[in-house]
Amino acid sequence: MIYLLFFLCGASLASFLQLISYRRSQKEQWIQGRSHCDFCGKNLSVVARIPIFHYFILKGKSQCCGKKLEKKYPIIEFLGGLLSILLFYKIGEISFLFWFIGGFYFLFLFLALEDISTMEVYIRDLVFLFFMALLCRIILGSFSIVSFALVSVACFAFHFIKKNSFGMGDSALLSILSLFHNSFIEFLWVVALGFGMASLYGGFLLFQKKGSRKTKIPLFPFLLLGSLVSFLLFY
């Protein structure tokens, strides 16, 4: 029962993050006003606002104007639900640490969404993520300042050498991850898993002839997966 509750909360939070991300891209007010249809602008009914299930109840179409809804909405809501279950399962209690690590991963999810839709992230969001990671480390009471410093210097140097293929946001994210993860080995797992999955995805795009060698792939979602797997394995 408690897992179901966590799942629903996580899914609702992911749904809310998608709404904020959408509103920010449209330069609308973030919080004010009711949710409305992406296509015709009519206010959404209660049913259309239930995370994940709205997609199945409405058979993948908007209630007001019958346009096809994007599949990414229920998928990301499902991932949000799954994320909160996994974190609760791993941490085992609703403590300060649970809230901060949860906050870190949901903020990370938000940044991954931004990276997918615009290929860009806001510096302000990365600063928030950095402080979230720092708070988690302070609560856990273990610091690996050497690995954080080395990774930061290496990533930013790499960014300035290969400006076109490796963004500033990616460098900043890698240094944040080296702070968040407990040891350098754990961080290497994040990098190996993240870049491994990104290359597989790139290979898949090439194979499907949907991209070329120059196609840019958003790295944040892959590093998020890598970080989560590594956290679940080592925490």
Cβ-based neighbour number of residue 193 at 10 Å: 19
Q: Taking CB under 5 A as the criterion, which residues in 68-97 touch Zn ion? A: none
Q: Smallest gap, in angstroms, from Cβ of residue 225 to Zn ion?
A: 33
| DSSP 3-state of 61 | strand
Q: Taking CB under 5 A as the criterion, which residues in 174-233 touch Zn ion? A: none
Q: Is 123 near Zn ion (CB under 5 A)?
A: no
Given candidates 64, 91, 135, 188, which one binds Zn ion under the rule CB under 5 A? 64
Q: If you compute the radius of gyration of the chain from its CA atoms, what whole number of angstroms results?
A: 19
Q: Is 47 near Zn ion (CB under 5 A)?
A: no
The DSSP call for residue 42 is P
Instruction: Match 């903020």 to its residue by tokens.
Output: 107
Which segment (36-44, 122-130, 170-178, 218-226) binds Zn ion by CB under 5 A?
36-44
Q: Is 48 near Zn ion (CB under 5 A)?
A: no
Whose Cβ is closer to Zn ion: residue 9's or residue 37's? 37
Q: Is 65 near Zn ion (CB under 5 A)?
A: yes
Token digits for 29?
């007010």
Cα–Cα distances in Å, from 150 out to 60, 172, 211? 48, 13, 34
Q: Degrees (nearest 5) of the Cα angle 103, 108, 110?
A: 100
Whose Cβ is closer to Zn ion: residue 61's or residue 216's? 61
Q: Is 37 near Zn ion (CB under 5 A)?
A: yes
Cβ partners under 8 Å of residue 68, min gap 6: 60, 61
Given candidates 40, 145, 149, 185, which one binds Zn ion under the rule CB under 5 A? 40
Whose Cβ is closer to Zn ion: residue 54's or residue 159's? 54
Position 142: which residue type?
S
If binding means CB under 5 A, how many residues of this protein chain bind Zn ion? 6
Given candidates 3, 30, 39, 160, which one binds Zn ion under the rule CB under 5 A? 39
Q: Which of 9, 139, 190 is nearest to 83 (CA)?
A: 9
Q: Which of 3, 168, 151, 159 is nearest to 90 (CA)?
A: 3
Whose Cβ is closer to Zn ion: residue 39's or residue 96's? 39
The binding site for Zn ion (CB under 5 A) comprises: 37, 39-40, 62, 64-65
